[in-house]
Amino acid sequence: MIKKIICCFGAICLLLWSGVPAQAQENVPEPSVSAASAILIEAETGRVLFSKNAEEQRAMASTTKIMTALLTLEQEDREVAITSDMIAVEGSSMGLRDGDRLTLHGLAAGMLSVSGNDAANAAAILIDGSLSAFADRMNRRAQELGLENTHFVTPSGLDAEGHYTTASDLAALTCAALENEAFRELTSSRQTSVSFLEPAETRTYQNHNKLLTMLDGCIGVKTGYTKQAGRCLVSAAEQNGIRLVAVTLYAPDDWNDHLAMMEYGFSRVERFGTPETPFSGSLPVTGGMAKEVPVYGEQETGAPLLTQEADRVVRCVELPRFLYAPVQEGDAVGRVTYWLDGNPLASFPLYAGGDVPCREAEPGFWDKIASFFGWK
């Protein structure tokens, strides 16, 4: 239950209203996963909902391509030509051949759908000239994102000494990647078509991620496997306005691990309810042509919370006792803030809903005398 409090600056707060938060599932047990390392987070806040050895450094296999594809999609798209040295790599492939011409972003599509090692290597060489130079780019971005326990050596994720991450870092990277619209569109697509300029044809690729058909609201993200890394999987799903990200490393039963983690997470988190209609009220105006001005707010959106926290949320409407003229429509005059245990969750401005110009001053005694005798 959300408590609503309205406070005027310098006045006592009064309890005015309470609402009902959105309902989440209940009584879902904490998952028991096969993974050596795992984590489940709420993407908007980064809050950890479940973890198992999440800070342990491990090989990451093709989940590496989350970073490779993100960096590729951040480049200005252009036509590129494939040469044999770019695609001399083992493992999964999007079927690139010497002489193929396509776009740089088409390579990212091949990475995120069929986990093309050829696409990852080609993009790295096309962007930075060599695999090692592109690895430097990957590590710079990792530092920018605060991934302190991650180091990249290969763009494809093939096992290499010094190529590692943690479940925690991989979840943070995924949250950043999902902010990229092109990345999000590709990784959530069950089927992707890539247009080639040479040969002039369109090739269609089926996404390897089974969770796209197994999990409601699944929006990706990436599978992976090598002998050293084992089965690796990163997933993301959205339900009822909540986005969760799950990571498992060295997980023999990864599909079921993720289904269990997601069910648990969505049972634990909800977006606390907000009023169906925005705030509406009025404020007195001193020295204006009107005695009061309407006050309005925009539609509010709640922040994700654990279910047991929802009844501790307080909604505080902060407004002054009055306004001085002049007032212009759209002026910010107050705020609606949601609090949990003394910490702000979300805040929204309140605006003046009209213009109130200053009232002309009343003429004084001598002004009236002068006016009467026509002296002015």
Half-sphere exposure of 243 (CA within 13 A, CB side): 16
The residue to which tokens 């949601």 are assigned: 338
Residue 248 burial (CB count, 10 A): 30
330: left (phi over 0), alpha (psi -120 to 50) or beta: left
The answer to whether residue 62 is catalytic is yes
Q: Which of 4, 65, 92, 189 is catalytic?
A: 65
Q: What is the DSSP letter of 205?
A: E
Cβ atoms 338, 345 nearer than 8 A: yes
Residue partners of 54: CB distance under 8 A and separation at least 6: 37, 38, 39, 48, 166, 167, 168, 247
Question: What gap in Å lies between CA 205 and CA 191, rounded to an integer?
Answer: 6
52 is in an annotated binding site: no
Q: Which residue in the list 62, 92, 188, 189 is annotated as catalytic? A: 62
| Residue 142 to residue 212: CA distance in whole angstroms | 27
Active-site pick, 37, 92, 115, 189: 115
Catalytic, 168? Answer: no
229 CB neighbour count, 10 Å cutoff: 24
Q: Quick check: is 227 catalytic?
A: no
Residue 349's H or E segment, with its range, is strand 343-352
For the annotated binding site, the residues are 222
Could you list the active site residues? 62, 65, 115
For the annotated binding site for substrate, the residues are 222
